[in-house]
Amino acid sequence: MTENKYFEENKPTTFGGICAFDAYEHSKARNTDIIEADDLMFDDCVADFVDTLRNAGVREFVVTTRTTNLADIASLLEFNGCALRGVATVTRQNDMNGNPFKHVVNGFKFIVC
C-alpha cells in the first residue's frame, strides 16, 4: 500500500480519527492492497472516522471487523457519506518468523463519497 501524506503528517486526536489512522497504519504494516478497517469503532465515532478518511483523500476501504453491530456500523457509514459496494477481500502480506505468507480476509467494501 502506498503512503498517505495526510496520515504521515497529521495525527488525529478524535477517537474516530484515531480509528482511521490505526486502520491506515495496520494496513500499511500488513502491506494490504486497500485500507482495512478490522477493528471498527463504536457507533458514536463513525462520523469522525469518515471525516478523517475524507480529509486524507481515501476513496475506498474494506471493513473486515467481526463485530456484532456490523449492520449498525454499515448503516452509520452510509449515513455519514459512504456507499456500500458489496463483498470484498483484503490480501494481507504477513510474516511469521521470517517466513512471508499471504492471508486473505473477507469484508465489505465502502466508497467514501
Give me the tens of pLDDT residue by residue for the chain, a chain 113 residues long: 789 999 999 989 999 999 999 999 999 999 998 999 988 767 888 999 999 999 999 999 999 988 888 889 999 999 999 999 999 999 988 776 777 888 899 999 999 99
Query: How many beta carbons lie within 10 A of that of residue 65, not counting itself?
Result: 17
d(CA 44, CA 34): 24
In the CATH hierarchy, which fold is given to the domain comprising 5-112?
Translation Initiation Factor IF3 (3.30.110)
Can you say whether the dihedral through the CA atoms of 34, 39, 43, 48 is positive or negative? negative
For residue 113, CA distances in Å to 20, 50, 61 come to: 16, 10, 12
pLDDT value, residue 44: 83
d(CA 28, CA 2): 8
The model's pTM is: 0.90
Burial status of residue 52 (CB atoms within 10 A of its CB: 0-12, 13-18, 19 or more): buried
